[in-house]
Amino acid sequence: MGAHMRTVRSRRLALELRQFREQAGLTGEQVAEDMGWSVAKVYRLEGDKVRILVRDVGRLLRLYKIGGAQAEAVLELARQARVKDWWHQYSGAIPEWFQFYVGLEAAVSAMHGYDSELVPGLLQTEQYVRAIMSTAPVRVDNDETERQITVRMERQKRLTAADAPFLWAVLNEGVIRRTVGGTQVMRTQLRHLADMSTLGNVTVQVLTFDAGAHSAMHGAFKVMRFPEPVDPDVVYVEAQTGALYLEKPEDVARYSLIFDYLRAQALSPEASRDLMTQLASTM
């Protein structure tokens, strides 16, 4: 089937195929027998673990007795799921576990996130990015570093695009006080944060040390929302060498509630902007 890179479209396709099977009252075993596949293949397709051919989508739709305009819409979705997006040309510079995130980020309508250690990627300056990358314990050659930086800068264009998403970031006070890359780099980064927070679609709040214990002391996360109701929200939790993508409604609801508590405890957007500007001027 070839390499499979998950996207919002492939995720939606997998969800719809599973729903059609369940509506038809068929088990994975029955589908596998009819299609001449292994049972594992059926569930991997429905879990968006492997790529599915458009002609196989057509066969499944006939099996599920889905026809007319509905079938054509799903077939078009299957075709679109195979179209490469802009970041695919940089796939070598994007870890496999992070590629799905880049695809989700490119399609979100809103993103709510908490960061405890560093400025979120969409709000980083280039020099701040370079300073972070320099701390990597594994040596990366210069060409790959430049490609990674290019990807980061390309991702940021979404915030000022015509269909820009709403970004609401709550930052631990340590994020804005930790001097990353030296005082000049950090001063520029703080001013950039303050400037970006004046955009109508960007909100930045600082959770001060004075807030004490809070609901996200376990670490950073992002809640990602999409314009199409058929695309469920996703919670993204990143680690050093991988990430969790939480899609169960109860998980998303829990993290959404955590974020509500965070922004209630944090400084107002105006007070946060004043604090960042003040720190930049005194640094």
Q: Hey, how many other C-beta atoms are within 10 angstroms of the C-beta on 154?
A: 14
Confidence of residue 2 (pLDDT cuts 50, 70, 90): very low
Confidence of residue 56 (pLDDT cuts 50, 70, 90): very high
DSSP 6: -
CB burial of 120-147 (b: ≥16 within 10 Å; e: otherwise) equals bbbbbbebbbbbbeeeeeeeeeeeebeb
Q: What is the pTM of this model?
A: 0.77
Confidence of residue 89 (pLDDT cuts 50, 70, 90): low
Q: Return the percentage of the chain with pLDDT > 70, whole number.
A: 94
Q: What is the mean pLDDT of the chain?
A: 91
pLDDT tens figures, 145-190: 888 899 889 999 999 999 999 999 999 999 999 999 999 999 999 9
In this structure, are residues 48 and 14 in contact, taking their beta carbons and an 8 Å threshold?
A: yes
Domains of the chain, CATH where assigned: 8-80 (1.10.260.40), 89-282 (3.30.870)
pLDDT of 100 above 90: no
pLDDT at 198: 97
CB burial of 30-48 (b: ≥16 within 10 Å; e: otherwise) equals ebbeeeeeeeebbebbbeb
